[in-house]
């Protein structure tokens, strides 16, 4: 967990905290709360709960974390493709650059990710020897698709669009939900 925070500079966690602060500030103050450089109480609570859930899941998964974590990271980042495709960009700045400006549509933007996923699935089909493990693997793939679509959809509807903070929140929430599902099913 710490290595991910160091690599990203805590960017996604900051987005999570800002998004929760914004959601609980209400519709009228949402963007103002997300823009505020100070973290509010709801942001701190979100960070604490997410961190505790992630630690518990990693402790449950133990040695499988090296296989599980890349899958969770994949789905977390993949979720932003749905976010950008479905929602309009909203900003608290007058001049800001949106991901939509360079957006080529979900088919083109997700092509490399889909190829990676298909290679990974093919490898698993060849290497998994137990039918029970294969069924769990396929269930987790379907859960990954569901969470990658539904979490940004919930966030986007709640805040009325997407921005960098909401994308960061989506990454963290999908990663954590996938980690939780792996901890339950494995």
Do residues 185 and 31 touch, judged by C-beta distance below 8 A? no
d(CA 114, CA 135): 20
Do residues 34 and 22 touch, judged by C-beta distance below 8 A? yes
Locate all alpha helices (DSSP H) within the chain, ordered by sequence: 2-8, 11-25, 30-35, 41-61, 65-86, 106-109, 111-127, 131-159, 164-185
Is the per-residue pLDDT at 97 higher than 90?
Answer: no
Do residues 84 and 100 touch, judged by C-beta distance below 8 A? yes
pLDDT grade for 177, boundaries at 50, 70 and 90: very high
Quick one: pLDDT at residue 68? Answer: 87
Backbone phi and psi for residue 27, each to the nearest 5 degrees, phi listed first: -60, -40
Q: Where are the domains of the chain?
A: 2-185
Quick one: pLDDT at residue 8? Answer: 86
User: pTM for this one?
Assistant: 0.90
- What does the radius of gyration of the chain's CA atoms come to, in whole angstroms? 17
d(CA 168, CA 86): 16
Which residues in 136-174 are b (16+ Cβ under 10 Å) and which e? Answer: bbeebbebbeebbbebbbebbeebebbbbbbbbbbbbbb
d(CA 155, CA 19): 9
What does the pLDDT average to over 16-41?
89
What pLDDT digit, counting tens, does each position of 106-116 carry? 899 999 999 98
């Amino acid at each position: 967990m710490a290595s991910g925070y160091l690599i990203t500079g805590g960017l996604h966690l900051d987005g999570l905290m800002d998004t929760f602060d914004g959601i609980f500030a209400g519709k009228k103050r949402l963007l103002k709360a997300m823009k505020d450089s100070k973290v509010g109480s709801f942001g701190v609570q979100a960070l604490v709960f997410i961190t505790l859930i992630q630690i518990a899941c990693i402790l449950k998964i133990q040695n499988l974390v090296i296989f599980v974590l890349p899958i969770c990271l994949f789905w977390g980042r993949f979720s932003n493709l749905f976010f950008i495709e479905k929602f309009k960009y909203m900003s608290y700045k007058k001049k800001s650059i949106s991901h939509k400006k360079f957006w080529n549509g979900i088919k083109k933007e997700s092509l490399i990710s889909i190829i990676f996923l298909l290679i990974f699935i093919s490898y698993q089909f060849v290497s998994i020897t137990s039918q029970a493990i294969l069924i769990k693997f396929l269930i987790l793939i379907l859960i990954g698709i569901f969470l990658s679509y539904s979490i940004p959809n919930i966030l986007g509807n709640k805040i009325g669009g997407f921005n960098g903070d909401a994308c960061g929140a989506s990454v963290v929430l999908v990663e954590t939900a996938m980690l939780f599902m792996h901890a339950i099913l494995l």
